[in-house]
Amino acid sequence: MRVFFMSNFNTMNLSDSLLKSITRMGYTTPTPIQAETIPIALTGKDIIGTAQTGTGKTAAFLIPLFSKLMASRESHAIILAPTRELALQIMQVVESLMPQDGRFPTALLVGGADIGKQLRQLKAKPRLVVATPGRVNDHIKRRSINLKFFNLLVLDEFDRMLDIGFTPQIEKVISFMGENRQTLMFSATLTQQVIKLSKKYLTDPAVINAGTVNTPVKNIDQKMVNTTERNKYDDLLSELSKRDGSIIIFVSTKSGADKLSLKLNNDNQNTSPFHGDIPHRKRERVVKNFKSQDFRILVATDIAARGLDINHIRHVINYDLPRCPEDYIHRLGRTARAGAKGSAVSFIVPADGKKWTAIKRIMKQA
């Protein structure tokens, strides 16, 4: 089913208080994913949506959720995200976008965070929960959450959740929810597995494609540098010297991120590493400091390739090419956000031949 397009929030049958919140957030004209998703989601229909990163997807599903939660006290919503960082960013948008005169209890359930705080939030009977699949399953086992009253489900970055191996946890969450459930599924790529499971989890969904799924943002100037392992670091310093503004450097391993960040700091570059072995609270602090531009360069693994929403990132540098060619697209999506321009540099060593060929193939197919 092809959905219709609305170019103005005022024509979407939203409450005055919700429209005030949308205005307060600085939203003026809906992005394509918002213009297509919100009206059809308000009808109660299931949705499978794809959109490039940085297109306003979070607000696209939060606005109809808020509308339903405010309209009926019987409605309860749960949003599942693949990583703690993405869940935290979604919750930040929840807190900012929620209407001041229609507030309701919420809970953030992620691993590595204070379990006592989560239990207190759940005792307050939240009507909107943002969670990672693993932690919400922990609460199901503890019997600290009852999902039978939850009738709204969002699966954000669903392809990423499948990559991580969250399918059993997602299915358990769904099994505890009520039968009359509306599900909104968002995925950066429509793989065969995503399509197969969408048929299992969704009922006659509307398919929304706001832009080509496997195409990087158009406002990115892409460059490749042929080099060697011996010369790659010096070439990196040369590229850094030519560039102004915030930079994210992607590497393939956690230890590689630590080593490169330390080496760059010793060469008077202001950097911080970012990967899955860093404790959750420290990662939150790193992201906060990077957002406030306390340091210039983030050296990260692919944990930062999705969900990291920082508008001032000017450049993406692929110091190591990604193992999965699709992750090249997601890495580039960290720059040129909110209509800005950005650049991307990829270092190619002789051993990268197959990886670069796969990346060029997926770019050509897109």
**Tens-digit pLDDT profile for residues 109-141:** 998 888 999 999 999 999 999 999 999 999 999
DSSP string spanning 307-350?
S---TTEEEEEESS--SSHHHHHHHHTTSSGGG--EEEEEEE-G
pLDDT of residue 342 exceeding 70: yes
CA distance 15 to 328: 40
pLDDT of residue 4 exceeding 60: no
Strand order in the sheet with 342-348: 220-226, 342-348, 313-318, 246-250, 297-300, 271-274
Tokens 């503004």 correspond to: 245
CA distance 331 to 78: 27
Alpha-carbon separation of residue 38 from 27, 51, 157 (angstroms): 14, 14, 18
DSSP 65: H
pLDDT score at 197: 93
pLDDT of residue 184 exceeding 50: yes
Q: Please, are residues 233 and 281 in contact by the beta-carbon 8 Å criterion?
A: no
**Tens-digit pLDDT profile for residues 77-107:** 999 999 888 899 899 999 999 988 878 999 9
User: Which residues partner with 221 through β-bridges?
Assistant: 343
pLDDT score at 217: 56
CA distance 210 to 57: 10
pLDDT score at 203: 94
SS3 of the chain: helix, strand, coil, percent, to 5:
45, 15, 35
**Tens-digit pLDDT profile for residues 238-278:** 999 999 999 999 999 999 999 999 999 999 999 999 998 88
Enumerate residues 6+ apart whose C-beta is below 8 A from 320: 250, 251, 252, 253, 256, 347
- Residue 279 — very low, low, confident or very high, per pLDDT cuts 50/70/90? confident
Mean pLDDT, the chain, rounded, equals 89
pLDDT score at 3: 44
In order of their start, the domains of the chain are: 9-210 (3.40.50.300), 220-365 (3.40.50.300)
pLDDT of residue 2 exceeding 50: no
**Tens-digit pLDDT profile for residues 191-234:** 788 889 999 999 999 999 875 445 555 688 999 999 999 999 99
pTM above 0.75, yes or no: no
Enumerate residues 6+ apart whose C-beta is below 8 A from 332: 216, 217, 220, 222, 316, 342, 344
Alpha-carbon separation of residue 301 from 32, 37, 59, 223, 226 (angstroms): 30, 31, 27, 20, 21
Proportion of the chain above pLDDT 90, given as a percent: 65
- Residue 313 — very low, low, confident or very high, per pLDDT cuts 50/70/90? very high
pLDDT of residue 309 exceeding 80: no
Work out the average pLDDT over 35-44: 94
pLDDT score at 216: 56
pLDDT score at 365: 58
- Residue 327 — very low, low, confident or very high, per pLDDT cuts 50/70/90? confident
Work out the average pLDDT over 281-307: 90
pLDDT of residue 347 exceeding 70: yes
pLDDT score at 1: 42
Q: Give me 141's structure tokens.
A: 């086992």
